Amino acid sequence: MSYKDVVKQYPGVLALCFIAVFSGNLGQTFVVGFFQPAISETFALTNGQFGMAYSAVTLISGFLIFFIGPTLDWVPARLFAAFIVLAMTLGVLLLTLTSWPITALIGLGLVRFCGQGLLTHLGTTVVAKQVAQARGRALALVTLAMPIGEAILPSAIAGALLVMGWREVWWVMLATLLVIWLPVLTLTDTWPTPSHQHHPKTDKSDTDSSPRPLSDMRFWRLSLMMMSIGIVNTGIFVFQADLVGEFDATPSAFAVGFALAATGRVCGALIAGRLVDRLGAAMMARLYLFPLMAGLLIAVGLQNAYGIFAYMLLSGLVTGMQEPTITSLLIQIWGSRNLATLRSVFAAGMVFSSGLAPAVFGLLLDAGIAFTTILLLMVAMAAIGWLLAWKPLQEAARGVSRQ
């Protein structure tokens, strides 16, 4: 099916999952970062204290996904969504109404957990289960909500902060969230029931009813490949000032770079959606890290603003390819019946990597290691991840060819 055919055949589930992924942008770092100065000032936190608190809530949310995420395999999706909306509402209210730092920290943790974690998990898991015949394209369409959010929300939030306080901006975002979600939660025909969340008869890849990825060596061999883009991007974005200084560029270079990254994400998602459906997820997984390594090498070779532009565009391409490729790969290897469990492990790993990467980059920079050397280390890491993943990817490709 073409993208147009997928939209015509599955308009309800695509819209539902797109809304879920787009709503998850409220808990992403690029949104929370706008409020960091005001939150730090309000609760008398230094930049270091805020950074440690932010890493702590991120790591805790990754840990919780292990336990909460898999319930989507047996809990009705609508009930799961209602829980997330309620928890997100509680998080925003705790963050904005309290005068105690610890309570605000709990609220921020709920916003991160529901936004970066569960809303994205909900949208991608439901669409992957529901659209078995064109899974790659469906995932690509739904995950377009991420770069669209990155394109719309920063300017909207920046403009709002000029005319109102940071708390009022959060209340406006929460009100908008509720205005959208309350009607969506009442549309019973759009939501899959528990009996319809699995498609064992129509999904031939559903061969394992009880996967245990953490006890499967294939998962561990794939893990570094799956986490590479998150590790590299998080480290570079957090320490972009050091990179700009070493490359003798201006801070505006990263502003242009983020626009290029958003463009790359859209293109990457659409390209991966088609290729996953045509070539298979295992074949796509062998290829999708090469633009990341190429971008890093170009940045090291140029060491100027153009190198930053090249990296941001190519890393955006890989980020867009990630979700359609990896979610489809998990299904290809372990089946779709317990996809929520599988994606929970993957999502938790991504959250952990985003929490630990700044610490690793920071220690390397404190040790006096040049940023170009760190970038080359990231190339080596991605290459090692690719080599480790080769055998399970080859086995997965052979398994598909036998079906």
- Over range 17-28, report the average pLDDT: 89
For the chain, the straight-line distance linking the first and the last C-alpha, in angstroms and rounded, comes to 20
Predicted pLDDT at 194: 54
pLDDT: is 203 or 393 the higher one?
393
Domain of residue 352 covers 202-403
Report the distance separating Cα 105 and Cα 103, nearest Å.
5
Looking at the structure, tell me whether residues 51 and 155 fall in a common domain.
Answer: yes
Q: Locate tokens 């991007």: which residue?
A: 233
What mean pLDDT, rounded, does the chain reach?
Answer: 82
Confidence of residue 367 (pLDDT cuts 50, 70, 90): confident
Distance CA 106, CA 179 (A): 24
Give the rounded percent of residues in the chain with a pLDDT score beyond 70. Answer: 90
Last residue of a domain, one of 197, 229, 256: 197
139 and 241, same structural domain?
Answer: no
Amino acid letter, 42? T
Asked if the model's pLDDT at residue 204 lies above 50, the reply is no
Regarding whether 257 and 192 lie in a shared domain, the answer is no
The pTM score is 0.75
Q: Are residues 151 and 80 in the same domain?
A: yes
pLDDT at 190: 63
| Structure confidence at residue 401 as a pLDDT band (50, 70, 90) | very low
As a whole number, mean pLDDT of residues 303-332 equals 87
| Residue after which a domain boundary falls, among 172, 197, 222 | 197
Where is the domain boundary, 197, 215, 235?
197
Cβ atoms 255, 241 nearer than 8 A: no
Residue 313 has pLDDT above 80, yes or no: yes
Do 242 and 309 lie in one domain? The reply is yes
Task: Output the domain CATH number for residue 173.
Answer: 1.20.1250.20
Asked if residue 294 and residue 251 are part of one domain, the reply reads yes
Phi/psi of residue 21, each to 5°? -65, -40
Same domain, 207 and 185: no
Same-domain pairing of 30 and 175: yes
Indicate if the pLDDT at residue 292 is higher than 80.
yes
Into how many domains does the chain fold?
A: 2
Do both 178 and 227 map to the same domain? Answer: no
Are 127 and 212 in the same domain? no
- Indicate if the pLDDT at residue 177 is higher than 70: yes
* Cα separations in angstroms, 87 against 83, 115, 149, 349: 6, 10, 21, 22
- Say yes or no: 15 and 128 in one domain: yes
The DSSP line for 26-52 is GGSHHHHHHHHHHHHHHTT--HHHHHH
- pLDDT tens digits, residue range 130-148? 877 777 788 888 888 888 8
SS3 (DSSP) at 99: coil
pLDDT (0 to 100) of residue 402? 37
Shared-domain flag, residues 351 and 271: yes
